[in-house]
Structure 1
Amino acid sequence: MHHQQFAILITTRNRLEDLKITLGEISYLLNNENVACIICDDGSTDGTFQYLKDNYKQIQVIQNKTSKGLIFSRNRLLNLTTAAYAITLDDDAHIVTNNPLEIIDDFFINNSQCAVIAGRIFWGKDLPCNLADASSSTRVKSFVGCGHVWRMDAWRSIPNYPDWFVFYGEEEFASFQLFKNEWEVWYVPALFIQHRVDVKSRKKKKDYTTRLRRSLRSGWYLYFMFYPLHLIPKKFLYTLWMQLRLKVFKGDFKALKAIILALFDLIINLPKCININSRLSLNEYQKIEELKNSKIYWKPKEV
């Protein structure tokens, strides 16, 4: 059995049309004998599983009979692969760069402490004309779920993503754990990814409250898990106040609902957070704060 050096890992749920585009865009990688692809179908009801079985013999498909959530599915994929490097993509994201495998391989070889490569991600349905970017690779605090690459040795050295987060926050959790183990996260702009979503329209979507709730609570969970104790109250109250000031006091009552629900989630899960036992020392915390923030949205330079 030939162990491939690279794996492409995708978790999907009821987004077959998006997934078809992604697989079409990366078909040259799927046909490369050095690349394995594993897709986790997280309880889809739109025929995703059968479609993949019928059309992609080279893809290993696993299935959650009922939806277990994004983070649960990512853990399954990462714990299943035998590759040295695992490329994680969302079902609506694909690699635009022509030679991604060489870029990944070279970077990991030349940066032995790098655990995760964070790609340069453009969020939008249509690629801009100018994709040039002169910035160099740089060490960052964390990475974005829809396009990154794991050095699998590093993944195996830390705990699994906390699947009870459900959505949001798992990358920061992993980044803190990696930092504790002296691993690094690097932003590598040469690895360019398009995430085919319309960010502006998300605010109007039905799941706005759910997304905000999950994003707030995961941030709070992480404070209670990792931050030096004396910093937690100030950080927590500051984020709460900013949400109220910027959203609720301006009449966004969906946000108020999200905040209240997130507070309940925090109270329920506080024991889990405190049990993690990975708190940063003040010195470690200050070192992390000196790192550049995660680069989430890439925008082209206006010509």
Structure 2
Amino acid sequence: MSNPTFSILITTKNRLTDLAFTLDKIQYLLDNKNVVCLICDDGSTDGTALYLQTNYPEIRLIQNPKSQGLIYSRNRLMGLVTTEFAISIDDDAHFLSENPLESIRNYFEDNKNCGLLGFRIFWGLEEPRSIISTEKPHQVQGFVGCAHVWRMQTWRDIPDYPAWFIFYGEENFASYQLFKKNWEIHYLAEVLVHHRVDIKARKQHKDYIERQRRSLRSGWYLFFLFYPYREIPRKMAYSLWMQFKLKVFQGDFKTLLAIGLALLDLVGNIPRIIKNSNRLTQKEYETYNALPETKLYWKPEK
């Protein structure tokens, strides 16, 4: 086909082994003439660019000479999309479903108010024992960044992801913006993705504190950007209390440092928060919170 319908977008940095595995797993999609693939190499130093240029010349590669962060890179990729739909997957994720493109296209055609689809995601180093699910598609609050698909019409209807978040939170940012524009986010269990991550092992990684810091501050940024003023003090207090109760008081003192750094980030970004706020009314806030929560994890039925 001369005019592809789908773009597959991948952001990567120094994870060549994961990326190579993913590309091998989705080769059948890359071979589909209805698909184009774009990859952003965010300042890798492990030979990622050379590997792609040598083995996948058909993939459009863009590079950040210096790392700019995941969200900045996703914005770059989204800005290059010319197809009707854009599928975003992490470099350590691949599809387990046999015909994801057909399922995606059919669902969007049948649900005109749906601007974005989140997929059923299995988290773990090994594939699930069973891929069967009886879950039905339905509207949800948000989506998971590691695997989702945009109807590009809706992306162009809202602001870009906030690159100043650096990492984490862009999905919720987009979900609030979509809600304000009356676009819906749906969960499509028919499409299953394997995210090859050991979540428990992350606590032992060198970047644990930085991940905690970025996760906390992104949540707090979102409170101040979108929540009605009356809700912010209660949400901030609850967030801090839960961090102390579930982590610090249990001996996870790394989280204490992450909390302090995240609070400093929040104060430092007050000008950006004021500039970019798009606050929900109290009624909008209640309607949004009445929606089913984002489907983050899926586990096989025993």
Q: Does 1:175 align with 2:202?
A: no
Q: Is 1:285 matched up with 2:280? A: no
Corresponding residue of 1:194? 194
Which residue pairs with 1:224 in the alignment? 224
In structure 2, the residue corresponding to 1:261 is in which secondary structure? helix
Match of 1:247 in 2: 247
Per the TM alignment, residue 109 of structure 1 is displaced from its structure 2 partner at its CA by 0.4
Match of residue 236 from structure 1: 236
Q: Which residue of 1 aligns with 2:269?
A: 269
Q: What amino acid maps onto 2:78 in structure 1?
A: L
SS in 2 for 1:87: strand
Q: 1:134 matched to which residue of 2?
A: 134
- Superposed CA deviations along residues 167-225 of structure 1, whole A, max 9, x for unmatched, are 00000000000000000100100011000111111111111111111111000000000
Q: Secondary structure at 1:150's aligned position in 2? A: strand
CA–CA distance in 2 between the matches of 1:251 and 1:132? 39
Alpha-carbon distance between aligned partners in 1 of 2:221 and 2:122, rounded to the nearest angstrom: 28
Q: CA deviation at 1:2?
A: 2.5
Q: Distance in 2 between matches of 1:128 and 1:4?
A: 32
Partners of 2:272 and 2:213 lie apart in 1 by 18
Q: Deviations over 1:55-84 (max 9, x none)?
A: 112100000001000000000000101010
Matched, 1:163 2:137: no
SS of the equivalent of 1:161 reads coil
Contact 1:3/1:82 (<8 A) preserved: no
- Pairs aligned (count): 302
**1:256, distance to aligned residue in structure 2 (A):** 0.2
In 1: Cα distance, 2:58 partner to 2:276 partner = 39
Q: How big is each residue's C-alpha offset from its partner over 1:237-261, in whole Å with a ceiling of 9 and x where there is no partner?
A: 1101111121112221100000000
Q: Deviations over 1:249-292 (max 9, x none)?
A: 22211000000000000000122112213100001000000001
- Bigger Cα displacement from structure 2, 247-256 vs 78-87: 247-256
Q: For each residue in 1:57-116, what CA deviation from the matched residue of structure 2 results, as whole angstroms up to 9, or x when unmatched?
A: 210000000100000000000010101000000000001110011000001000111111
Given that residues 96 and 192 in structure 2 are in contact (C-alpha distance below 8 angstroms), is that contact kept between their aligned partners in structure 1? yes
Match of 1:100 in 2: 100
Unaligned runs of 5+ in 1: none
Q: Distance in 1 between matches of 2:275 and 2:286?
A: 23
Percent identical: 55
Amino acid in structure 1 at the alignment position of 2:8: I
* Cα deviation code 1:14-55 (max 9, x no counterpart): 000100100000001001110000000000001100110111
Which residue is equivalent to 1:119? 119
- How far did residue 3 of structure 1 move? 2.5
Give, in whole Å, the separation in 2 of the partners of 1:128 and 1:15: 23
Q: d(CA) in 1 for partners of 2:171 and 2:246?
A: 26
Cα distance in 2 for residues equivalent to 1:133 and 1:277: 38
Q: Please give the root-mean-square deviation of Cα atoms over the aligned residues, in Å.
A: 0.9
Quick one: distance in 1 between partners of 2:170 and 2:270?
A: 16
Q: Which residue pairs with 1:6 in the alignment?
A: 6
Determine if contact 2:224/2:277 at 8 Å carries over to the other structure: no
Structure 1 runs (4+) deviating above 4 angstroms are: none
Q: Kindly indicate whether residue 210 of structure 2 is the aligned counterpart of residue 210 of structure 1.
A: yes
Q: TM-score, normalised by structure 1?
A: 0.98
Unaligned runs of 5+ in 2: none
279-288 or 125-134, larger mean C-alpha shift = 125-134
* Secondary structure in structure 1 of the residue aligned to 2:46: coil
Quick check: 1:225–1:279 contact (8 Å CA) kept in 2?
yes
SS of 1:265 mapped into structure 2: helix
Look up the equivalent residue of 1:131 and give its one-letter code.
I
